[in-house]
Amino acid sequence: MAKKIISIIGSTGIGKTSLAIKLAKYFETEIISCDSRQFFKEMKIGTAVPSDEELKEVKHHFIGNLSVEDYYSIGQYEIDALKKIDEIFRKKNVVILVGGSGMYEKAVAEGLNDLPEANAENQEKLLKIWQENGLEDVQNLLQNLDPDYFKLVDKDNPRRLLRAIDIIWQTGKTYTENISEQKSKRDFEVFRINLEAPREIIYQKINRRVDLMIENGLLQEVESLIPFKNLVPLHTVGYTELFKYLEGSWELDFAIEEIKKNSRRYAKRQITWNKKLENVHLLNYDYSWEEVLSLLNILKF
């Protein structure tokens, strides 16, 4: 039987984790996370890591496996994830892939073109621009160099911005061109299930999720990470806004509304990204299990 990956995609907060667990239990298999923010063990609440109960239901990989002080590239993730998938395939025919980081999902599902390692001189220049002129100058630089990628990238994630610009400078090609070529053929089939919902439903879910994060102690989590606030993993939605509150720049209510607004923007980018993917099968967010089984039957599982 051909080895298969079912990749669960969709916007943030739509219910990908729940579906992934149901499918993993149905196939008696394991889950590979491709949510790059959930790699970091100190960032549980703000990245909506699966609960302890959910993690006990099914074996998950690449959740809480790193510290915010660790450097971890998408290239290394591709190597590590494929190695783990190969291990699972020795005993299972199906693996579930889930997460909201589109580039990381693509790295596993399709492979990325060979990209050069970070150039120290370029990184130094870019860090100087960021530190002296602010993130907006870095954003403008990438927008001028590669407007197509700029529409999709998490604009508040300096690590993604700096990496893309560095590669453009090194290769003389846009980042979009660099990642459009497949690195290598995969020896497994990939089926993507895209959870969909009307935009107003997505926004309602995001707003509620942020409220729950605050109730569950997100502010305290962010407070504990103040010593690391300048590290790249912490320059992300849910953390940058609350750091501004803790610094006294913003009121708490305003910071929370900014988290909701930036999360909605992130969801828009995810939707745009997912529309460009291949072999995608749509599933409504309020699906019944019968609909899931019907889809699996259509996909010949």
Q: What is the dihedral of CA 156, 158, 160, 165, to 10 degrees?
A: 120
- Give the separation between CA 185 and CA 174, rounded to whole angstroms: 23
The verdict on whether residue 14 carries a ligand-binding annotation is: yes
The verdict on whether residue 248 carries a ligand-binding annotation is: no
Which run of H or of E encompasses 61? strand 60-61
The verdict on whether residue 12 carries a ligand-binding annotation is: yes
For 144, the token pair is: 């001028």
For 255, the token pair is: 């910071």
Tell me the DSSP string of 154-212: -TT-HHHHHHHHHHHHHHSS-HHHHHHS--S--SSEEEEEEEE--HHHHHHHHHHHHHH
Task: Kindly report the backbone phi and psi dihedral angles of residue 33, in degrees, each rounded to the nearest multiple of 5, phi listed first.
Answer: -85, 135
The verdict on whether residue 288 carries a ligand-binding annotation is: no
The verdict on whether residue 13 carries a ligand-binding annotation is: yes
Q: What is the dihedral of CA 125, 77, 149, 146, to 10 degrees?
A: 30
The verdict on whether residue 176 carries a ligand-binding annotation is: no
The verdict on whether residue 15 carries a ligand-binding annotation is: yes
The verdict on whether residue 75 carries a ligand-binding annotation is: no
Q: Can you say which residues are annotated as belonging to the binding site for substrate?
A: 12-17
Binding residues: 10-17
Q: Binding site membership for ATP: which residues?
A: 10-17
